[in-house]
Structure 1
Amino acid sequence: MKLIYKIKYILLIGIAIQCVSCSKDFLEETTYGEVDPSEIVKPENIERAIISAYSVLNGQFDSASNAYNSPDSNWSFGDVVSDDCYKGGGGTGDQNNIHQMEIYATNPTIIDVERKWSALYEGVKRSNEAIRLLNASKDFDATLKTKRLAELSFLRGHYYFELKKIYNRIPYIDETAETVADYARSNTEFTSDELWAKIEGNFQTAYDGLPDTQEELGRPTKIAAKAYLAKCYLFQKKWQNVIDATNEVMSSNYGLMGDFEQLFLPENDNNKEIIFAVQHSVDDGQPNNYNGSIGDRLTAPGGPFYSQYGFHRPSQNLINAFKTSSAGLPLNENTDILSNDFVDPRLDITVGRPNIPYKDLGILYEESWARDLATYGPYGPKKRIVSANSSYFVTTWPYVNALNYYIIRYAEVILWKAEAEMELGNLENARALVNQIRQRAIDSEKTKNLDGTADAANYNIATYNETWTDPEAARAAVYLETRLELAMEGHRFFNLVRWGIAKDVIDDYLLVEKTKRSHLTNAVFTEGKNEYWPIPQRYIDGVPEGTVTQNNNYN
């Protein structure tokens, strides 16, 4: 069964759990309850502490309902600030903090900057404290202890990976931290390479101690740790290491699911393609369904079946990226799709388009579903929206669902290896790997019209059948395939940054989009600044002066 998150807060009196957050009380202790010191190291209480470390994965770490400011899916941090999506909602004043992010006017006091930092360091803290408990316990089963320590190293590695890719220069704190002062650490104590080495160390420890399989779905496996190591290598451009690690993952029992759309149905969670995921659940007794997709609750697309929060809206640029030639290959020309144009079939699984059936609801998506149509255009999210007919969707506030968020899926591993092969000059190897992704799209069921008698659009997709000889063309093909396959999953901006093309891509995007979307009029991407988010001001104010160095150009 799934590892369901049952525990939100545990006070460990004997070793003083401290409230680690980005707010002004970053270093203040918050008491949630009391446990006698002699009870703390009992195996059952240690297990609860471990579950508590898992529970922050979905971005919900307090009794508020605004995990949409710290979403596990990174829809605002990875999509809205890229060329894939607009903020959406009821105009620029609705969640204006995210609007400021979208136009690259982010500052250190924005709530999303603070809450994302808070959620991730809460995960670090809980992982650290559970490790300390395990190391202090004399009664915990020795074999299980090795596995649980490996799980906690994996979780801590994940939280730090997210912190590194979002904030870049971060404090690194491990389980040796015992007091409040131990958490007041400099964010420049370690170089970037040293931070990556520490993050890799967490996943290597996890790999060494994790089993091949887990009885409870949601706990990481040995291959999940190896896959995360591959992702660390990818971000550092360690191409041969990427190939070696992905080879091991691809030799395991993981693989592509047969149908692209079926991959994103909650009843198919934890299928063979999902290497590690945040486990979401609803109607499990947790108040306000906070174990569900609480960070995505604003993405409901409107219409007759959903709340009209209307956030996470696909951009015209993203829609156009799915346009194909008569040969079924990407055109990549950013011209608006017309009704008779050829398109990649993943388009209508990924986004809601007018006059195309939406899910299994027996209805066409209409542009009237889109909240503030004049500002954000007619398109809506679809890939990670759960059908209103599904028992995995909650039809009342807070309108969440039980579709897991996929942190790493097998298709990504294929694309990572394709990228590494391309960078090492093995262009034909890269082509074969990209074709695996495209072949799955070819073999998948296409979106049908309402009566099911024909395809809903002119779907046309093919594999690359001609030899790749031009390195730049190969690079463009790998990058574009990565975009199409992972669209609306929170990865796009981070890929642009690690590819070193964020400035060029976003400038080109804004040049055209500003003629269509007035809310982007003042958007300006500043190279050397907007690749990362600022260190939260409340954290800076909460530690001794001079401890923290703000990220470049945010002073």
Structure 2
Amino acid sequence: MNAALLIGLSLQLSSCSNDFLEEETYGEVKPSEMTQAANVERAIISAYSVLNGQIDGASNAFNSPDSNWSFGDVTSDDCYKGGGGTGDQNNIHQMEIFNANSTTIDIVRKWMALYEGVKRSNEAMRLLNASTDFDPALKLKRAAELRFLRGHYYFELKKIYNRIPYIDETANTVADYAKSNTIFTSEELWGKIEDDFKLAYTDLPEIQTDKGRPTKIAAKAYLVKCYVFEKKWQLAYDASTEIMSSSYGLLSDFQQVFLPENDNNKEIIFAVQHSINDGQASSYNGSIGDRLTAPGGPFYAQYGFHRPSKNLVNAFKTNSVGLPQEDNIDVLNSDKVDPRLDITVGRPGIPYKDLGVLYSTTWARDLATYGEFAPKKRIVSAKSPFYVTVWPYVNALNYYIIRYAEVILWRAEASVEINKLEEARALVNQIRQRASNSTYVKTLDGTANAGNYNISTYTLPWTNSIEATAAVHTETRLELAMEGHRFFNLVRWGEVDSVMKTYLAVEKTRRTHLTNAFFTKGKNEYFPIPQSYIDGFAPGIITQNSGY
């Protein structure tokens, strides 16, 4: 399709799921046969296959990662870029100091990957609608899946770039793809994204045989996510009710949530399916977007990106009664800390995974620039059969787009906003109680806790909405740390300007690589629209985001 080519996106497929995605690419089928049921299924599979950000035969999906580690964590107070100094992937360094522009490769590649997902979803819808031999009942379900996928790709585009061109399945010519990004208001764009999830909810099943396909509850959860981004609090609260009473729930042990052998457990509402050793060249179905996050040391590649900030580590400190301390004073070995800290972050002197060794500052690449901490939560043990110990050093841990814990926190937010403060407290306490009941990281001999862990629930009633909101936001940060959500949450909360300026004022005294970092309100909440798209595909009809 010429219009698709003008978007500048490859038709080469790189499946990111497990068994049900291991199919022949639909680009290899004759055009005259495309509406045959089997080939339509392949077109649908292709819409799934770019969920992991891998859109071509290159190994640089780390410029468009499904986990958003560079877009959602590095740009926040949760972590530093890492790597071998500011010149190593300097493009991400520019994002970290808020100096990226419309030609930054990550900003361009992420746009390409997401619009490739939109395009494939739209084309699969067209083929599905035109097919005459597709089972009618299955057709409804597959159409719902495509609606869900398109909703996901547009949601990501909206939260990253804000003002975006909206193209639906009626697009057929070059002109149909050349759309302005100011045709629809922000509210209208959100409405279109909501509509996809509403329609998906209607026809999706309660249970999918193939892991990785969305369910009815996944569509409802994504709709809740839309509502909280739009601050439609009553709708978010009401929509979350069905999820609260569904078969989804919190896994009993926080540490067990992030093991690839537990992928698709009851807490995972929708995830990008990663797999390795499945016949795909270079294990591109694995966590290819996160391959630079390997923490170094004696077991991992010495890439060393996605490094937790000192500010994040300090956020896990607890007071004498086990509640967040929030003083941003450096954690000492004697300090009490939330047990999730040593599941989320590699700290010197604390055992790392099940490797039988203590994490050490010697693991840290460019220790002087980026400090001593390493990612840990989403790093797979080097001893695991789900980890590739050779290049490109990827793993089969799925990326969780929505997990049940996040829905609990969204409902808690909504509860505060509609003046159900005690319900919000009970919801936050569910998260904290799970953390308290989880298996703690132990010393190497297993005889004691590795840290001075201390966590409790909120026992006093919540009567002040401002304090309740702050508590929910803090819990959201702790629970979801290093999962790619932090920056986007700060933006939707309207806190990003104050939080980042306070963060940078202190961090510049700790980390010299942030000397030139400066967050500009009214600009840096969103990323620029790629200049190559403005000039090459839609000249004269695209309005660049403010400040770029």
Determine if the TM-score, normalized by the shorter chain, exceeds 0.5. yes
Q: Which amino acid aligns with 1:344?
A: D
- How big is each residue's C-alpha offset from its partner over 1:152-205, in whole Å with a ceiling of 9 and x where there is no partner? 000000000000000000000000001222111101110000000000000011
Question: Quick check: 2:276–2:283 contact (8 Å CA) kept in 1?
Answer: yes
Q: CA deviation at 1:545?
A: 2.8
Q: CA RMSD in A?
A: 1.5
Aligned to 1:299: 293
Distance 1:357 1:33 in 2: 47
Alignment equivalent of 1:413, drawn from 407, 410, 425: 407
Alignment equivalent of 1:157, drawn from 151, 154, 158: 151
Aligned to 1:180: 174
- How big is each residue's C-alpha offset from its partner over 1:89-119, in whole Å with a ceiling of 9 and x where there is no partner? 0000000000000000010000000000000
Aligned residues: 537
Distance 1:27 1:348 in 2: 41
Question: Quick check: 2:11–2:27 contact (8 Å CA) kept in 1?
Answer: no
1:295–1:27: structure 2 CA closer, same or farther, 3 Å change rule?
Answer: closer
Aligned to 1:370: 364
Q: Which amino acid aligns with 2:365?
A: R
Is residue 313 of structure 2 the alignment partner of residue 327 of structure 1?
no
1:90–1:208: structure 2 CA closer, same or farther, 3 Å change rule?
Answer: same
Q: Which amino acid aligns with 1:83?
A: D
Aligned to 2:21: none
Alignment equivalent of 2:451, drawn from 457, 461, 478: 457
Three-state SS of the structure 1 residue aligned to 2:127 is: helix
Question: Quick check: 1:20–1:121 contact (8 Å CA) kept in 2?
Answer: no
Q: CA deviation at 1:35?
A: 3.1
Distance 2:463 2:244 in 1: 25
Question: Quick check: 1:53–1:130 contact (8 Å CA) kept in 2?
Answer: yes
Matches within 5 A, 1:87-236: 87-236=81-230
Distance 1:283 1:20 in 2: 34
Is residue 336 of structure 2 the alignment partner of residue 342 of structure 1?
yes
Is residue 434 of structure 2 the alignment partner of residue 448 of structure 1?
no
Aligned to 2:471: 477
Identity %: 73
1:29–1:546: structure 2 CA closer, same or farther, 3 Å change rule?
Answer: farther
Alignment equivalent of 2:66, drawn from 72, 81, 101: 72
Matches within 5 A, 1:283-294: 283-294=277-288
- How big is each residue's C-alpha offset from its partner over 1:403-436, in whole Å with a ceiling of 9 and x where there is no partner? 0000000000000000001112211111000000
- How big is each residue's C-alpha offset from its partner over 1:239-271, in whole Å with a ceiling of 9 and x where there is no partner? 010111111111110000000010000000000
> Which runs of 5 or more structure 2 residues have no equivalent in the other structure?
14-24
1:544–1:118: structure 2 CA closer, same or farther, 3 Å change rule?
Answer: closer
Alignment equivalent of 2:420, drawn from 408, 421, 426: 426
> Which runs of 5 or more structure 1 residues have no equivalent in the other structure?
1-14
Q: Which amino acid aligns with 1:278?
A: V
Q: CA deviation at 1:471?
A: 1.5
Distance 1:298 1:95 in 2: 10
Q: Which amino acid aligns with 1:450?
A: L
Question: Quick check: 2:10–2:56 contact (8 Å CA) kept in 1?
Answer: no
Q: Which amino acid aligns with 1:263?
A: V
130-139 or 536-545: bigger deviation: 536-545
Q: Which amino acid aligns with 1:18?
A: A
Distance 1:334 1:342 in 2: 14
TM-score scaled to structure 2, two decimals?
0.96
Q: CA deviation at 1:494?
A: 0.2
Q: Which amino acid aligns with 2:345?
A: V
Question: Quick check: 2:9–2:116 contact (8 Å CA) kept in 1?
Answer: no
Question: Quick check: 2:37–2:133 contact (8 Å CA) kept in 1?
Answer: yes
Three-state SS of the structure 2 residue aligned to 1:406 is: strand
Distance 1:238 1:18 in 2: 35
Distance 2:545 2:12 in 1: 27
Q: Which amino acid aligns with 1:19?
A: L
Three-state SS of the structure 1 residue aligned to 2:146 is: helix
Three-state SS of the structure 1 residue aligned to 2:400 is: strand
Q: CA deviation at 1:33?
A: 5.3
1:498–1:33: structure 2 CA closer, same or farther, 3 Å change rule?
Answer: closer
1:444–1:346: structure 2 CA closer, same or farther, 3 Å change rule?
Answer: same
Is residue 516 of structure 2 the alignment partner of residue 522 of structure 1?
yes
Distance 1:416 1:96 in 2: 35
Aligned to 1:11: none
Q: Which amino acid aligns with 2:274?
A: H
Aligned to 2:264: 270
1:544–1:61: structure 2 CA closer, same or farther, 3 Å change rule?
Answer: closer
Question: Quick check: 1:27–1:180 contact (8 Å CA) kept in 2?
Answer: no
Matches within 5 A, 1:51-62: 51-62=45-56
Question: Quick check: 1:20–1:118 contact (8 Å CA) kept in 2?
Answer: no
Three-state SS of the structure 2 residue aligned to 1:18 is: helix
